[in-house]
């Protein structure tokens, strides 16, 4: 099933079960390499910068951000949407694997899910801080209170968003954790150190791999994967509704939910490609994360890029076709030829044009090109969110309210800080958890005679 002309072999070379465990679990029991400490040091510095920015935002207030009366959503919402988009890949890979039975996705699943959990946590930080008084964050929960009782507004997309993100974080964290239960048991039984044995033993919940264990586990994972499938589509669609339900030109469009969803998958897959290219090199996993595996991601990226490009064109066309001057101004003038033209054309170049290079087999099988293009895509996707948020808010109906927007050092600090959280988390993940699902690799790489 894996050994096809399109997908290639599951592992580059035939491996015994023991070899698979040894190769993938090696980082968990050997000392970390020098690069790991250097990367951890940089990530910690970024994290500290972020902590300072978060402290300033809370202690001094949101006046330290670059927001103004017109652009009331700035880097916070741009970065929120950007991180949420990246966070879509993990669950998307799970669906590819569990629902569509695309076995090539098994190689990326674990890393993509770890990335999802961290990205969604980073994303959640922005709206929480944007509340201003973060200590009152519990106001968004529907609980019996002393204000009437005044319940939350169940008709508001902002409440839907809170619920969607919370559900998504719970789901991706649980799916990630239960997905690695058999591998934690493997680490428990192989560890020489008493502490590692105790820790992996605690988290592996007494897993032995009995028939009952496996049957119930697979039944549960199938249900959880099935539940995750609609959620992946709905989370970013609901984020899009935060914009689409408003009346701001450039936001008030029905295309936004599907456009956001495809954009999320697109940026998430690009980030998985970037990360796994580093992981395969640094941990010597070239036999597992093979060129055909990465090529499969490249094919998804071509598709994503085409849909994104079509969405850009559709938006322009509908703005022109509607004949509504505010929409026409936003899309055709403000974005394409006006103040935001540089950002707009960077976005088009990075998202709609550059990934088309993957049509060439030489490019989509070249590690260097894949790395460059995947990074370009995530830069482009950041610009897309910048264009959507800032260009629309800074030039709305009344020219008297028109303004420009630029971030402050605190805005930048929080964004850099989320990278600190993300990379610290990823580095810890790579050190203590197998980055590829060991049990699934064994199951899919073996050639069964039955």
- Give the footprint of other proteins on this chain (CB under 8 A): 16-18, 21, 142, 148-151, 153-155, 157, 159-160, 163-164, 166-167, 170-171, 174, 178, 182, 185-186, 188-190, 201-220, 222-224, 227, 230-231, 234, 238, 439-440, 442-443, 446, 448-450
Residue 153 vs 284, nearer CB to other proteins: 153
How many Cα atoms within 13 Å fall on the side-chain side of residue 440? 25
Distance (Å, whole) CA 223 – CA 172: 13
Residue 173 vs 306, nearer CB to other proteins: 173
Nearest CA to 87 among 65, 124, 116, 47?
116
Residue 235 vs 381, nearer CB to other proteins: 235
Residue 167 vs 365, nearer CB to other proteins: 167
How many Cα atoms within 13 Å fall on the side-chain side of residue 178? 18
| Least distance from other proteins to the Cβ atom of residue 214, Å | 4
| Least distance from other proteins to the Cβ atom of residue 377, Å | 29
Residue 108 vs 423, nearer CB to other proteins: 108
| Least distance from other proteins to the Cβ atom of residue 436, Å | 13
Distance (Å, whole) CA 123 – CA 87: 9
Find where tokens 């055909």 sit. 292
Find where tokens 């020098």 sit. 34
Q: Which are the contacts of 122, defined by CB distance < 8 A and separation ≥ 6?
A: 83, 418, 421, 422
Listing DSSP states for 266-314 in one string gives HHHHHHHHHHHHHHHHHTT-TTTS-HHHHHHHHHHHHHHHHHHHHHHHH
Token output for 213? 């264990």
| Least distance from other proteins to the Cβ atom of residue 189, Å | 5
17-29 and 181-190 helices, crossing angle to 10° = 80
Listing DSSP states for 20-47 in one string gives HHHHHHHHHHSPPPHHHHHHHHHHHHHH
Residue 102 vs 372, nearer CB to other proteins: 102
| Least distance from other proteins to the Cβ atom of residue 30, Å | 17
Token output for 203? 């988290």
Residue 100 vs 321, nearer CB to other proteins: 100
Distance (Å, whole) CA 111 – CA 268: 12
| Least distance from other proteins to the Cβ atom of residue 237, Å | 9
| Least distance from other proteins to the Cβ atom of residue 143, Å | 10
């Amino acid at each position: 099933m894996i050994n096809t002309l399109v997908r290639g072999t599951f592992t580059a070379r035939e491996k015994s079960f023991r070899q698979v465990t040894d190769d993938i679990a090696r980082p968990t029991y050997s000392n970390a390499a020098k690069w790991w400490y250097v990367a951890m040091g940089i990530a910690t510095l970024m994290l500290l910068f972020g902590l300072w920015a978060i402290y300033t935002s809370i202690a001094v207030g949101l006046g330290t951000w670059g927001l103004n009366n017109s652009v009331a959503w700035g880097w916070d919402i741009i970065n929120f949407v950007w991180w949420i988009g990246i966070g879509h890949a993990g669950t998307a890979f799970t669906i590819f694997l569990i629902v569509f039975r695309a076995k090539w996705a098994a190689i990326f699943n674990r890393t993509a899910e770890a990335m999802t959990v961290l990205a969604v946590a980073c994303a959640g930080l922005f709206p929480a801080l944007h509340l201003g008084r973060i200590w009152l964050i519990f106001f968004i929960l529907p609980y019996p209170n002393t204000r009437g009782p005044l319940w939350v507004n169940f008709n508001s997309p902002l409440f839907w968003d809170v619920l969607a993100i919370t559900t998504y974080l719970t789901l991706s964290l649980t799916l990630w954790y239960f997905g690695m239960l058999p591998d934690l048991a493997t680490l428990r039984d192989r560890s020489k150190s008493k502490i590692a044995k105790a820790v992996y033993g605690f988290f592996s919940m007494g897993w032995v791999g009995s028939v009952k264990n496996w049957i119930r586990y697979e039944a549960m994972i199938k249900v959880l994967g099935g539940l995750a499938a609609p959620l992946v589509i709905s989370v970013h669609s609901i984020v899009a509704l935060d914009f689409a339900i408003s009346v701001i030109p450039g936001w008030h469009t029905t295309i936004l939910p599907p456009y956001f969803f495809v954009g999320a998958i697109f940026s998430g897959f690009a980030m998985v490609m970037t990360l796994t290219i580093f992981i395969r090199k640094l941990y010597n996993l070239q036999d597992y994360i093979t060129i055909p595996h990465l090529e499969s991601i490249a094919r998804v990226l071509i598709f994503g890029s085409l849909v994104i490009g079509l969405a850009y064109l559709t938006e322009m066309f509908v703005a022109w076709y509607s004949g509504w001057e505010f929409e026409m101004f936003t899309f055709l003038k403000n974005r394409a030829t006006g103040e935001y033209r540089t950002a707009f054309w960077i976005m088009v170049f990075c998202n709609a044009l550059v990934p088309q290079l993957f049509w060439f087999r030489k490019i989509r099988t070249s590690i260097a090109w894949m790395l460059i293009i995947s990074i370009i895509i995530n830069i482009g996707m950041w610009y897309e969110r910048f264009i959507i948020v800032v260009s629309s808010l800074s030039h709305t109906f009344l020219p008297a309210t028109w303004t420009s927007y630029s971030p402050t050092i605190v805005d930048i600090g929080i964004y850099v800080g989320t990278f600190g959280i993300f990379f610290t988390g990823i580095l810890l993940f790579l050190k203590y958890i197998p980055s590829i699902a060991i049990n699934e690799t064994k199951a899919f790489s073996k050639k069964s005679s039955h």
